[in-house]
Structure 1
Amino acid sequence: MTQYPALHMYIDGEKVSGGGRQTFDVVNPVTGETLAELPLANSADLDRALDAAQRGFTTWRYTPAAKRARVLHGAAALIRERAAELARVATLEQGKPVGEAKMEAMAVASWFDFAAGECQRLYGRELVRPVGQRSVVRWEPVGPVAAFAPWNFPLVNPGRKLGAAIAAGCSIIIKSAEETPASALGVLQCLYDAGLPTEVAQAVFGVPDEVSRHLLASPVIRKLSFTGSTVVGKHLAKLAAENMIRTTMELGGHGPVLVFDDADMEKALAMSAGGKVRNAGQVCISPTRFIVQEDVFEKFREGMAERLAATVVGNGLEDGTQMGPMANARRPDAMEKFVADAKGKGARIDTGGERIGNQGYFFQPTLLSEVPLEAEVMSEEPFGPLALINPYRNEDDMIAEANRLAYGLAGYAWTNDVQRQRRLADALEVGMVGMNTHMVSSADAPFQGVQWSGHGSEDGPEGVKACMVVKTVHEA
């Protein structure tokens, strides 16, 4: 079944399409064929979305917490009911195995349920004052949010942004990736069907730089939430600074994985290989730089090569597929350039390194070892199924390599030494640490990076409060 939904924008409750607007071809990455044409917003559309967001905020900010929670819980229930269809659509337009896409839908439902609970937990505090005086610290919604979500997690990325803003009492204009519009629209439809007023959330698509400049230049927007590359994040932060717009930036990573000689090697290999091919490596927290202690380097290299080579790559809608295509034509091109550069500088290709077939955007799971630091892929996020493995002598050298780059999203370590685990938790300069695991994301835990990987949090109580501001009221 390959039916794909009709595409549109949502502006002030209306499904907007046609009308002579420019369009974008949404492509199936398995075949390279066009699924549908997506209408792109013009200036009038964006102004209309801003007006609706302003009106939506004036009412939603005063909507009782219990009602906001009911909407989010209701949307979570609908997402679970529609998970199979949401997953099928996400796989059609993004390529990941449908099982991964269904897990993604369930993650959105979990986040909506958690955010609904946060509606009732947005506590302030009363300060100690002399008799007759009173000082209260309050949390209030920041205002209309402009949110930009990428294509790698077409359900989770918009879901995170929608859930946080709606729980906090904000309105939101969301621009998800043009490559994966139907997934975002499906999540938003669940919120509408659960009772969210249409003026509270708008969905637009368009030329990214044009949309971002237009929205961030408006005095309506009080908060920017962006997930994407560090380069684009820096650009948007500069635009936001013009109006002193608050920002949450979830940016790129280059996940270091420290493997010590006392690790459970079979578990480390199984989780590392699985984590590397998840979503074809198009994951900001993907394990990428494997920093392996010398004594177990050969064993780990052989084990990773064997597991990556055995990965079943194919159509994400077919049973047994473990890794689908890359999401767009740009990604296999980037993989080829990284591999050629690394090989030219002396790296060894242990498995993979090439495209698969001549249709769609498939690339082999690839292991490069003994990769010189001057290779581009050692400093630039590959965002694909490339694993890099190098030997190191001791813990200090391994930590130094892990912290060598300015990226600081997620870092991982495999060791059974409890004291070492504690040292590494302190030493790794990242926003999230996975100790003997590659699972670092859940609805109740903040998801964030440091340095070039951004600032601010998504998920957890921190994710909702990122859409709020503090006000202190003094009475005498």
Structure 2
Amino acid sequence: MDTITTPYETLTLYIGGRFLNADGRPEQDVINPATGKIVGRLPHAMPQDLADAVSAAADAFQIWRRTSPFERSVLLRRVAALIRERAAQIARNITLDEGKPLAEAMQEIMNCAEHAEWHAEECRRIYGRVIPARSPGVQQTVLREPIGVCVAFTPWNFPFNQALRKAVAALGAGCTMVIKGPEDSPSAVVALAHILHDAGLPAGCFNVVWGVPSEVSSYLIGAPAVRKISFTGSTAVGKQLASLAGAHMKRMTMELGGHSPVLVFDDADVEQAARFLARTKIRNAGQVCMAPSRFYVHEKAYERFVDAFTTEYAPLRVGDGLDPQTQMGPLAHERRVDAMHALVTDAQERGATLVSGGRRLSDQGCFFPPTILTGVPDNARMMIEEPFGPIVPITTFSNAEEALTRANALPYGLASYAFTNTIATAEYVTRHLEAGMVGINHFGLALAETPLGGVKDSGMGSEGGTETFDGYLVTKFVSQASRVP
């Protein structure tokens, strides 16, 4: 069991370089989803706090935008070092308020150190260019400049990763940020504020607020000083925020929901693919926007796949994430448990067969088992709505065209996967899958050096890779003549 005895993170706001406790502000309980017990109390921002956060970010931008990219790079490398130094405590607190197994939380934190280092290097390479002029005596240049104050809204499923990715991109580009993290799992964002503070980031460059999401988002998006919005979360909420941002002509990056199809062809290593997908699906109890979630298996490989997948997936041990024997933790809150029950019931009513799981495991904690259903029709809710949990619907297809038609039928387009040992098939499905990311025979997504983003209702813009700063920069063209003609 857990051997770290230090207390759970003290939850605060962080505005203008100051950590602010409740001090009469409204508070909400933070619940451990494994035990149902309160682990902390989170202060909500008052209207004046939101105004102060935007003002602090606007003032700091006038200084931070002029700092050398080399200075920003040095600071982000210090951030990476502090992340590694504090990883164990941050990970433990994520397990306490979000639920994922401690080993997964540690992996999330260590990956974030890589993201900080990547942005530290790439922020030194934000280049403009010179365009040859049509007339002598004229110089034409293109400049890339930081857009200004940015607002970020980040989700509960990867609380450190999602906040860190947005923060280092904005700060590396020369922008400042106000972030509203997830109230369900807030410790990681507060820990990030301490890391940036201790790394020497000037006051006001990064600010943290909490509160009722609709109230906070309305205020921050409408604030005149705010120039950019970055959101990761559900498609429904993303559309609401996008409409607010559009009304104010604010630039936005949206990384929204997904419902990732998996195509398993009969020429694949079927049993190996099944075991790999079972291990992938278990991550964060399936609460991953790019998790494989609709399984289409060629009819010739179907029985072998189901047998191998069930053998690997069904017996996985579910429990408290602090228990080293746990392979899958609880769902993040009761709402997810209710959602799983509803999706399973609907699929069964439409003729699907329940192979394993299907019902919550105990009255204490938000535990739901690895669940497999076969023969799931395309009109079942779990084949249409993003499930965001450990349920796996499996059905058959007879040819590539049929599989692609069904895979592309939904408005989602974040990630897609295919398993085949034929190069021609791999190239064909890669070109025809409607998704921002495609994995062939593995799950190689969300790395620091690769872009992450979706198409259709799964969002706009990318984070990571050389595209990482695009959403935080504006393009300025300058045409300068040596004298007036």
1:86 counterpart (73, 86, 90): 90
What is the identity, as a one-letter code, of the residue corresponding to 2:339?
A: A
Is residue 397 of structure 1 aligned with residue 402 of structure 2? Answer: yes
Q: Which stretch has the larger CA shift, 223-232 or 103-112?
A: 103-112
Name the amino acid aligned to 2:132: V
TM superposition shift of 1:86 = 1.1
- Paired residue secondary structure (2:308): helix
Equivalent residue number for residue 34 of structure 1: 38
Q: Paired residue for 1:47?
A: 51
Measured after TM superposition, the shift of residue 184 of structure 1 is: 1.0
Which AA in structure 2 matches 1:33?
K
Structure 1: how far apart are the matches of 2:291 and 2:397?
21
Match of 2:471 in 1: 466
The code of the aligned residue for 1:310 comes to P
Q: What is the aligned partner in structure 1 of residue 114 from structure 2?
A: 110
Name 2:259's counterpart in structure 1: 254
CA contact (8 A) 2:271 2:309 kept: no
- Work out the CA distance in 1 between the residues paired with 2:74 and 2:334: 41
Aligned pair 1:236/2:267, yes or no? no
Q: CA deviation at 1:25?
A: 0.7
Q: CA deviation at 1:320?
A: 2.1
Q: Distance in 1 between matches of 2:271 and 2:84?
A: 34
Q: Is the 8 A contact 2:64 2:176 kept in 1?
A: yes
Give distance in 2, aligned partners of 1:61 and 1:12.
16
C-alpha distance in structure 2 between counterparts of 1:279 and 1:437, whole Å: 18
The 2-side partners of 1:292 and 1:118 are apart by: 40
Whether the 8 Å contact between 2:141 and 2:477 is mirrored in structure 1 is yes
Report what 1:126 is aligned to. Answer: 130
Task: Tell me if the contact between 1:308 and 1:351 (Cα under 8 Å) persists in the aligned partners.
Answer: no
Deviation at 1:20, TM superposition (A): 1.9
Contact (CA 8 Å) 1:271, 1:438: kept in 2 or not? no
Residue from 348, 370, 383 that aligns with 2:388: 383
One-letter amino acid of the structure 1 residue matched with residue 83 of structure 2: I
Q: Distance in 2 between matches of 1:427 and 1:390?
A: 20
Aligned counterparts of 2:465 and 2:146: Cα–Cα separation in 1: 16
1:416 to 412, 418, 421: 421
TM-superposition CA deviations, 1:166-188 (whole Å, max 9, x none): 00000000111001111111122
Higher deviation after alignment, 10-19 or 53-62: 10-19
Q: Distance in 2 between matches of 1:436 and 1:244?
A: 41
Q: Does 1:407 align with 2:397?
A: no
Shift of 1:336: 0.4
Partner of 1:57: 61
Which residue pairs with 1:449 in the alignment? Answer: 454
CA distance in 2, matches of 1:13, 1:267: 51
* Equivalence for 2:9: 5
Q: Is the 8 A contact 2:220 2:226 kept in 1?
A: yes
State which of 155, 169, 175 in structure 2 corresponds to 1:170.
175
> Aligned-pair distance for 1:284?
0.1
Cα separation, 2, equivalents of 1:186 and 1:109 = 13
Q: Once structures 1 and 2 are overlaid, which stretch shifts more, 12-21 or 207-216?
A: 12-21
Cα distance in 2, alignment partners of residues 185 and 475 from structure 1: 46
Aligned residue in 1 for 2:191: 186
Q: TM-score, normalised by structure 2?
A: 0.97
Give CA-to-partner distance per residue, 1:150-199, whole Å, 9 cap, x none.
00001101011111100000000011100111111112211211111121
Does residue 294 (structure 1) correspond to residue 294 (structure 2)? The answer is no
2:323 is matched with 318
Cα distance in 1 for partners of 2:197, 2:466 equals 24
Superposition TM-score, scaled by structure 1 size: 0.99
- 8 Å contact from structure 1 (residues 125, 138) kept in 2: yes
- The one of 207, 213, 217 equivalent to 2:218 is 213
Provide the rounded CA distance (Å) in 1 between the counterparts of 2:327 and 2:202: 39
Residue 346 in 1 paired to residue 351 in 2? Answer: yes
> Amino acid of the residue matched to residue 137 of structure 1?
V
| SS of equivalent residue, structure 2 residue 444 | coil
CA-CA distance at 1:465 after TM superposition: 2.0
For residue 120 of structure 1, give the secondary structure of its aligned residue in structure 2: helix
Structure 1 residue 317: deviation in Å? 1.0
Contact 1:421 1:435 in 2 (8 A): yes
Q: Partners of 2:267 and 2:237 in 1: how far apart?
A: 40
Cα distance between partner residues in 1 of 2:169 and 2:285: 28
Mapped partners of 1:343, 1:64: distance in 2: 60
1:114-136 alpha-carbon deviations (Å, 9 max, x no partner): 11111111011100113211110
What is the alpha-carbon distance in structure 1 between the residues aligned to residue 204 and residue 310 of structure 2?
A: 52
Question: Residue deviations 1:279-309, cap 9 Å, x none?
Answer: 0000000001011100000111111122111
RMSD across aligned C-alpha pairs, in angstroms?
0.9
Counterpart among 279, 286, 289 of residue 274 in structure 1: 279
1:224 corresponds to 2:229: yes
Contact 1:168 1:464 in 2 (8 A): yes
CA–CA distance in 2 between the matches of 1:126 and 1:430? 34
Using the alignment, how far apart are the partners of 2:450 and 2:335 within structure 1?
32
- 1:328 maps to 333
2:16 counterpart of 1:15: no
Secondary structure at the residue paired with 2:195? helix
- What is the deviation of 1:19? 2.6
Alpha-carbon contact 2:9-2:191 (below 8 Å) kept: no
Match of 2:376 in 1: 371
Give the equivalent residue in structure 2 for 1:304. Answer: 309
